[in-house]
Structure 1
């Protein structure tokens, strides 16, 4: 007599093949994607070194970097952030950023002119949008 095999479990390779992409995407979703050169908000992030002061520029820009300095003001905060291309000051209402935090910021480019004895000592910064 011939014995008939009954399959108790479905083919496990189909199950493994279906779970592998799900597990991989879950693991990458918990990771900091900037380590792989992928910005969390997309390709709209501008390198700090590429920012240029322009008059009457009301086009918002996105920057990301690490908080390096903090200056408390009366109702706002100034933070200096940096990336591998440069540093820039941010004027914002955020009060909970700490030194070393990695942040993404949307702001309007601004330039504050400070002429002293014929020399221009102005400062470029981003104001929160």
Structure 2
């Protein structure tokens, strides 16, 4: 190897390493986070989050789910709170003893799926909700 080729190779090497590092960083930053229980601040992100649109009445009293979404409404109850959570696939009410959730903030709640039957004029207008695990 000549002296000219040696100096050319060494001057390009840092640029190649920087480009490689940039490409690797780009690949990882575009990846989908799917580790169960991955925690970011107050948010639990991962494959264990159930989209609200997938929660069905047949899961009542059988399934425990995690839901994550924005708090849209809050209603005080006797010694408890009801929050309406919206995750862009749907909305669901959550009954909890937590009183620190604020309107507009993201929340993650783990609870049991419940169904309240509301028969009215021969029709079933029941409501699915989540009761937070204590």
Determine the structure 1 residue equivalent to 2:18: none
Unpaired runs of at least 5, structure 1:
1-12, 14-19, 25-35
Compute the displacement of 1:116 (Å).
1.5
Unpaired segments ≥5 residues, structure 2: 1-13, 15-20, 26-30
Aligned residues: CA RMSD: 2.6
Deviation at 1:55, TM superposition (A): 5.7
* 2:78 is the alignment partner of 1:74: yes
Q: Deviations over 1:56-92 (max 9, x none)?
A: 5332100100000011111111100001111000010
Structure 1 range deviating more: 39-48 or 89-98 = 39-48
Partner of 2:10: none
User: What is the aligned counterpart of 1:60 among 42, 57, 64?
Assistant: 64
2:66 pairs with 1:101: no
Q: Which residue of 2 aligns with 1:83?
A: 87
Larger fraction in helix: 2
TM-score by length of 2: 0.65
Change in Cα spacing, 1:78 to 1:100, as seen in structure 2 (3 Å) is same
Give the number of equivalent residue pairs: 99
Tell me the distance in 2 between the aligned counterparts of 1:46 and 1:68. 18
In the other structure, the counterpart of 1:17 is none
What is the TM-score normalised by the length of structure 1? 0.67
